[in-house]
Every structure is written in C-alpha cells, then in structure tokens.
Structure 1
C-alpha cells in the first residue's frame, strides 16, 4: 500500500489555526514590531502546536543571503575542533546566525568541494580552518563577498581575517624548553606533514630551536589513520626499539602522546628523568591519566569565539573596523613529564 507523503505546512495553516490573516502571521514570524503582544503569542502558539517552520528561502532570495555560517574544518574525530565549535556556538546562539559544518579530512580537493557546495547556499559568512588552500578555494573565498575568517593558524597570508596561534612559535617554545631541561636525544611522532600543515610548522619551529642548541632530531615517524591512543603506544614502542637511547619524545598531539605515556609507564620508565615527553593541544579529557602529560594549550575555544565575533560584527555592519589578524598566545604546561630547566 503506497503512502501519500505529508503536505508541507504553509502560512495559511497557521493563519487558520490562529484566526488571523496570513499577512499578520508573516509579520509575527518576521518579528515585526507592528503586531500586538496578544496576537503575537496566539500566532506563535499555533505555529508551535502545528510544528510549523518558516521557509526562509523566500527571504533569502530577496537578500541573497541565508542566516547560516559555513564552518569548514578538517575533522570532528579528535578533541580539537569540538572545542572550537563550542566557542563559535557560544557567540552565534545569541544571534539569528546558525553554524553549518563541513568536513574536509585534511584533503584540499575535498575542501574545494565542501566550500563550493556551502557557498552555493549563499551563507552570511565562512569560518575555515587553516591558511593553506588550493588556488580554486582561495579564488572562491575572495569572490564570495562575505566575511571570511581563517582559524587555528597565523603563519601565512589570510584571504580576509585570521584568528589563531603561531604554530612555528609554539614549536620553537617547546624546543627551547627541551633544550633548557637538558635533553639531548629527541624523537618526534606526528601526523603526516603534507596533510597537517599546523603540525608541520610546529615540527619546523622545534627543529630550528633545537638546531640553535646544536641538537638534531634523532628519530621521527609520521602516521595517518587509526586510533590515536593505540597509534601512540605502537609508534613509541617501535621508535624506542629502533633508537633506545632517546631521552625525549615530542608528539604532534596529546592523544598519541597519551598513548606513548601509557606505554612508558607500563614498561617502567623513570619519567621525566630517564625520558621526558610532551604533546600539544591541552586536551582536558586526559587529566585523569596516571601522570600529567606536558602540553601546550592551543586556545581552541577562544579561537572559535573570536572568529564568530568577527562574523557577527561584519554581518551587522559590513563597514565596521575590526582587528583582522588576532594572534593568541599558547602557554606550556610542564605537567609531570617535562623537567623544568
């Protein structure tokens, strides 16, 4: 037996249910001030009971914009970008703007596709992770005619506005802390560099700082995919079997660092005397580990908040003067795994 699909609700349905004209219903739903409070409450009550949701496409056709903010990020499978989204939501929830998320998996060609599809809906703004984009993506961002905020990284030239940290400086600071603590044999483990530009910049900053102290990275390994905790254990074991005299391990993120820490504790290493280690991102979820992993806070929630504030300000007044480059300052947390020099 075939099922007849339900008919979409219209203004007429709300008009009939509330006993007022369609024009009055439209005024209420557009939040016009020329409607009495009693009528407004009657219309909103009827719309809620019916389950009516206004069709904003018609209004968007007139304004050429919808009240959506395109948020384009590489992943939601780690603990980094959910915190960025929390910062964005805290700002947008007080406005008519709503975030809509696209995932790129760190792939430039996928970013192009996601960006193209999102811009075709004519959003009010774009928040996009990173500064490295294909020429096609950069061209679309420049031609969009809406506020664009690139987030997470300030080491490069933004299309419009940028909010983030300097990952090269972050790597340099951890390198200087390693030198100051007296470690000499350094191993590095992280995501594949061609895909993760921010991890690459931290690695470059760290190696440059170490080189000034006459130290080179003794071993390194890059990975893609898999469970981060399990991958951290696996890589740590393999690296120490390959290069057993390492006295410090730097991980490109806290999750693989936590896996490495658990392996070292299990094997009875004296941390941080025999071997030290550090991660990156300051993930609060890992506070329950047997030892506190040294890390660096990436200011994730604040990055999201400041980016959303730029979008809101520019949406309300396209000519408003705002700070177009906001560089936040992460701080090292030494925890229990990095000696203080």
Structure 2
C-alpha cells in the first residue's frame, strides 16, 4: 500500500517551508498569493488531501461548517446552500450539509453528530428548536447562526426575516386590491412552523379588517396517497377541493409557491380566470412561477443572500475579526402582485 502524501511532501514540491505550506493551505492572509498558488498547485500535483482529524485534535476544531436545512424538495434551500458555498470560496472552510425533513429528532441527531466533528461553526434553519437541541447549541462552543427567521430568540446570531410580518404584509397588499373572500392552502403546518407563522400573520391582517379565512385546507385533509405526492400535486388537489366547497372565494393564500403553482394548474384545467375570478398568492418567489408571469402573487425572499451572510458571519468569527453574539441581519421579502395590480386597476375603472 502506498503511503499517503504529507505536508512535508507539499512543502518540498512547492519549494517553501513546512510552516508556509501549512499556512497557505489554511488560507492564512499573511501568506503571499504567489506562495498560496504554488502550495495549492503542489498539493494538487502530488495528490495531497491532508488530515483534518489530526488538525482538529491540535486546534480543537476542523475547517468544516455544518449547515442544517429542513428540505431539498424545492429550490429554496439549495439556493441558501449555494449562498453559503459562494461565501466560503477561496477560504479553508468547507460546508457540510444535513437535511432533517422537518423532523426535530432528526435535527437533534444531525446537530449532535456535526458537533462531534468539531466544526468551525453551525448554520441551521429557524429559531424554534426544542429545548434539548437548544441546549446542545448553547454549549457548542462554536459560532451558531440561525437562518430564515427572526421571530424568536436566537442562540447566537440570526439572518432572515419575520414570517409573521411577511404573512401580514402580503395580506395587506392583497386587501388593497379589493379582495376580501380569502381561503388558505397549506402543507404540514405542525412541522413547518415558519409557514404557520405566515398564516397567523396573514390572519392578523384580515382580522384588522373584520375578516378571516372563509375556509382552509392542508395536507391532513388529503388521502394518505395524495399527501405523499409532490407539493405541486398536493396544491392542485387541495385547491380543487377548496373551490368545490367555496366557489365564491376571490383569493387563496398558499403556504409556498409550489402549492400555489399546483393551485394555478387546477384553475387552468378548470377554466377559472386567474387573477380575474380568483387571485392566487404564494411565498418565496420561485422560478417555477415565472413560466406563467404575473399569475401568482408572491413574497420574494433573498435566499442566496441569507446563505452568504450567514457564512460570512462565521468566517469573520473564525478569523477573529468579529463576534457573533446578538448579530441579527434582517432581509425582508419583497412583494410582487403581478397581474393582480393591473386587474385591480381595471376593476376600479370599470
């Protein structure tokens, strides 16, 4: 069996000292770019990949950043992860991703396992972890950045927005177009707590006008085989059921754009004018709805920017240039009403 290449081999191949080679591979800013390039090329040429476990024993941490997200079923969290990756390019830090499927027990085990690797920091989704998970995070001894939410008490730092406000704001915008008979279509709200917050924010805005949702539907209303389908298919089916019972609705608010797109698919198939007869509103601003421009109102979230900002907070903490405690970055969604605005102008002028 061949012996693995060592840091000394890299230093020899690059014509630098072992110390310089080590600092260059760590991304130390005091090493010249010329030496960094030589060392990295030498490492590539001889097939050197290092020993992060040994490094963690001496430095008490690895160069890994644990990133925990609830789902990869739509583009939202892959875009967050892309932002994290972009921010860490050219540094010695490497993101490692875990997916929980909105299961708090899976989240706990994922975080516990990641902490056993001695990561440089953790990025995780939301602020509503159970107390046993929060205990892990409080005692982690590494920078912790919670993302995609500001409705709660951060462990360390957070980057995101208020889901309560996001629901409230789009409700006010929709009310401003003259809609007043609202329905709601959601997913598994007992698991997706952020969607539940948006629903409550939306409802709060309606109640200020003496209104409420006329009817709601969520995944628990579907047959078991229907509930396991894609979010688009679930949205299509729940919209069909909702409008069959409440045909006089003039607006449906969906937990996300995937469900809203499914609702649009049903309306197109049923010959229902969107947004003329019924307006549809989702959340996230996904590229999925751009194929039918303006048909679905939405709140566009800065997903990639949220990931980039979270990674930079940890990077700055690792480099010692800034702490993370109490570091809160709010990146509010922007509302797009699409054709609903022009439809409102037409209605009021007729």
Pair in the same fold by TM > 0.5: yes
* 310-319 vs 212-221, which moves further: 310-319
Residue 329 (1) aligns with residue 332 (2): yes
Distance 2:14 2:194 in 1: 59
Q: CA RMSD in A?
A: 2.8
**Match of 1:156?**
152
1:170 aligned to 155, 166, 184, which one? 166
1:11 aligned to 3, 6, 24, which one? 6
* 180-189 vs 134-143, which moves further: 180-189
Distance 1:118 1:154 in 2: 24
* 180-189 vs 158-167, which moves further: 180-189
8 Å CA contact retained: 1:70, 1:102: yes
**Match of 2:223?**
none
User: Which SS does the other structure have where 1:191 is aligned?
Assistant: coil
Q: What is the TM-score with the length of structure 2 in the denominator?
A: 0.86
8 Å CA contact retained: 2:274, 2:295: no
Alignment of 1:309-320 (within 5 A): 309-317=312-320, 320=323
8 Å CA contact retained: 1:278, 1:337: no
Residue 119 (1) aligns with residue 80 (2): no
| CA deviation profile, 1:239-269 (whole Å, cap 9, x unmatched) | 1112222111111110110111122122221
Distance 1:228 1:177 in 2: 25
TM-aligned CA distance change 1:12 to 1:256, over 3 Å: closer
TM-aligned CA distance change 1:136 to 1:286, over 3 Å: same
User: Which SS does the other structure have where 2:128 is aligned?
Assistant: coil
Structure 1 segments of 4+ aligned residues over 6 angstroms from their partners: 32-35
**Match of 1:202?**
198
Residue 215 (1) aligns with residue 194 (2): no
| CA deviation profile, 1:292-311 (whole Å, cap 9, x unmatched) | 42101122111111111111
**Match of 1:28?**
21
TM-aligned CA distance change 1:291 to 1:322, over 3 Å: same
**Match of 1:240?**
243
* 54-63 vs 316-325, which moves further: 316-325
TM-aligned CA distance change 1:317 to 1:14, over 3 Å: closer
Distance 2:284 2:80 in 1: 12
How far does residue 334 in structure 1 lie from its aligned partner after superposition? 0.6
**Match of 2:348?**
none
Unpaired runs of 5+ residues, structure 2, are 220-226, 346-350
Distance 1:166 1:34 in 2: 42
2:268 aligned to 256, 265, 269, which one? 265
**Match of 1:60?**
56
| CA deviation profile, 1:171-201 (whole Å, cap 9, x unmatched) | 1112112222222221101111110111000
Count the aligned residue pairs. Answer: 332
**Match of 1:3?**
none
